[in-house]
Amino acid sequence: MAEVLVYVDHVDGAVRKPTLELLTLARRLGEPVALALGAGAADTAAALAEHGATRVLTHDAAEYADYLVVPKVDALQAAYEAVSPAAVLVPSSAEGKEIAARLAVRVGSGVITDATDLQAGEQGPVATQSAFAASFTTTTRVSKGTPVITVKPNSAPVESAPAAGTVEALAVSFSEQATGTKVTARTPRASTGRPDLTEAAIVVSGGRGVNGAENFGIIEALADSLGAAVGASRAAVDAGWYPHSNQVGQTGKSVSPQLYIANGISGAIQHRAGMQTSKTIVAVNKDAEAPIFDLVDYGVVGDLFDVVPQLTEEVNTRKG
Amino acid sequence: MSLRIVVTVKYVPDATGDRHFAEDLTVDRDDVDGLLSELDEYAVEQALQIADEADDAEITVLTVGPEDAKDALRKALSMGADKAVHVEDDDLHGTDIVGTSLVLAKAIEKAGFDLVVCGMASTDGTAGVVPALLAERLGVPQVTLLSEVSVEDGVVKGRRDGDTASEQVEASLPAVVSVTDQSGEARYPSFKGIMAAKKKPVESWDLSDLGLEADEVGLAGAWTVVDAAAERPARSAGTIVKDEGEGGKQLAEFLAGQKFI
């Protein structure tokens, strides 16, 4: 059976959820072979095996942390040459897309980014993508070379499918370009204790209507009652009320949770681009004419300062 | 010595218009007005600021696209870029990401560069990989997704805000940079800038100027094929209630019914 190379996104050996989803998709196309790089790479093996990786290729070197992107491209290329896969799947993070695209050009292949689903087809994998702020759905194939595809978080279920997960050390020699861009300092993001925005099953967002950084506490309280991540519209981020890392929309993060709750967000096209594929959409807004109400499964026309705390209290009561 | 900056820009359909696909499943450009991609305005702005700090710099703004794409170049020139290059060829219709990066790389090499500045992504395709591909093809460092950027003594430095960390990065020129919408508000063209832009040179290059063959680009030469494009079905009308004191409780009831609580 053909092998499918899966690039592993992990933090010190803890595999991030989008990679486990990739393994589900990879099994539709062949036998998943995972590639884990950097500190803790070998520690990923158990989780990867549990979710279907037949082999786990690992390599650690200082270059992965000290230089930007290219060392990882060199390693993915080495794995590609060692495995000769039928397809290469990479998580659709900003860095993942850059790594995937550079590999594709190196090996003479096409690249598809931000797939939201993947199926085996007669002429190779068929990827589903969203276009024009998720107002269209397209199906796309790579027509030259080995398909290199990046997949968005929440595109497939995480499924247990135990496999051998044999750990093998990968030999990597770095290219001249590998040390081109030096990382001179790194400040890890302070953990909020909340789920990661792109991975969360529920996202609670605030926008212009939140009207001040000090009021984001009520958005956070609702998020915490539901075990949700907190998002913000561009208007709220540009006003300095919430960090850019939490921005949902065209120039921020694209999210596709089971439930999206928009509070005080009008629903401009740029915001819709980042959340329109959410399964269930709920909005609270004073303005009954706000375009967000065209998208909702349930909307409350009202003052978020009344509705959101009442909802939070009710959720907490029901959870008992 | 003059710092040669090339800014890549894209002419995109206005996102507030009714965007759709043409029969050949390429982006329909006829029915919606085009404009300079908003995210590329940030690239022009950062290039202008870098040029201001340099002793001597020249900014060339570059686009690949149909006749109308000149509008995007004019906007960048009116903001303050010095000259423009328009790569235009009927055979480019339907070129995909890999092909676009090939055409841009050839044009950048022909123009000559010390620094390439790009926006973080286009506002239509939104893939965000062209800057990395240009670095790959040009064989120079990629210094991408910067929310702060500066150039001094032949070194470009910046801040890259990633998912798990914020990084300070640096590379020697020549290099490819991309900047995010956090890099600083783009300036509006002044009346003087708009008048001056009319006199600035816009060169037109076609595939033969770049040493490329028609079958390396365009729909037929693309590395990817779009098999189908379907408009997303409109969401069925949701329930909308007016808060009369119980809105939060009603919403909780809905969420409980959907098993979210």
pLDDT tens digits for range B193-220 = 999 999 999 999 999 999 999 999 999 9
Q: Give the Cα separation of B260 and B55 in Å (integer).
A: 60
Whether A178 has a pLDDT exceeding 70, the answer reads yes
Q: Residue B62 phi/psi, 5° resolution? A: -125, 135
Average pLDDT, chain B: 95
Nearest-CB residue to B145 (from A94, A100, A110): A94
Average pLDDT over residues B83-87: 98
pLDDT tens figures, A10-24: 999 999 999 999 999
B227: chain A residues, CB-CB within 8 Å: 126, 139-141
Instruction: Label residue B102 by pLDDT band (50, 70, 90).
Output: very high
pLDDT tens figures, A74-98: 999 999 999 999 999 999 999 999 9
In order of A138, A202, B66, B76, the CA distances from B200 in angstroms are 40, 52, 20, 11
> Quick one: pLDDT at residue A221?
98
Identify the residue among B97, B120, B255, B259 best suited for mutation to test binding to A, counting A beta carbons within 10 A and taking the highest: B255
CA distance B78 to chain A (A): 24
Q: Single out the residue of B130, B185, B139, B182 nearest to residue B160, CA to CA.
A: B182
Nearest-CB residue to B232 (from A11, A136, A296): A136
Asked if the Cβ–Cβ distance from A136 to B231 is below 8 Å, we say yes
Cβ(A299)–Cβ(A293) below 8 Å:
yes
Q: Give the Cα separation of B50 and B261 in Å (integer).
A: 52
Q: Give the Cα separation of A219 and A44 in Å (integer).
A: 34
Whether B48 has a pLDDT exceeding 80, the answer reads yes
Average pLDDT over residues B118-129: 92
Asked if the Cβ–Cβ distance from B230 to A137 is below 8 Å, we say yes
Nearest-CB residue to B258 (from A182, A276, A280): A280
Whether A320 has a pLDDT exceeding 80, the answer reads no
> Does the complex come out with an ipTM higher than 0.85?
yes
Average pLDDT over residues A112-124: 96
Residue A303, SS3?
coil
> Quick one: pLDDT at residue A317?
95
Residue of A nearest to B125 (CA): A131
End-to-end Cα, chain B, rounded Å: 65
Average pLDDT over residues A229-253: 93
Asked if the Cβ–Cβ distance from B242 to A288 is below 8 Å, we say yes
> Quick one: pLDDT at residue B1?
67
Whether A125 has a pLDDT exceeding 90, the answer reads yes
Residue of B nearest to A127 (CA): B226
Whether A50 has a pLDDT exceeding 70, the answer reads yes
Report how many Cβ contacts below 8 Å link chain A to chain B: 263
Average pLDDT over residues B130-152: 98
B247: chain A residues, CB-CB within 8 Å: 284, 300, 302, 306-307, 310
Least confident piece of the model among A64-73, A172-181, B7-16, B96-105? B7-16
Average pLDDT, chain A: 96
Instruction: Label residue B78 by pLDDT band (50, 70, 90).
Output: very high
Asked if the Cβ–Cβ distance from A138 to B20 is below 8 Å, we say no
Q: Give the Cα separation of A140 and A124 in Å (integer).
A: 10
Which segments of A26-110 are extended strands (E)?
A: 31-37, 55-59, 87-91
Average pLDDT over residues B124-128: 89
Identify the residue among B40, B126, B138, B235 best suited for mutation to test binding to A, counting A beta carbons within 10 A and taking the highest: B126
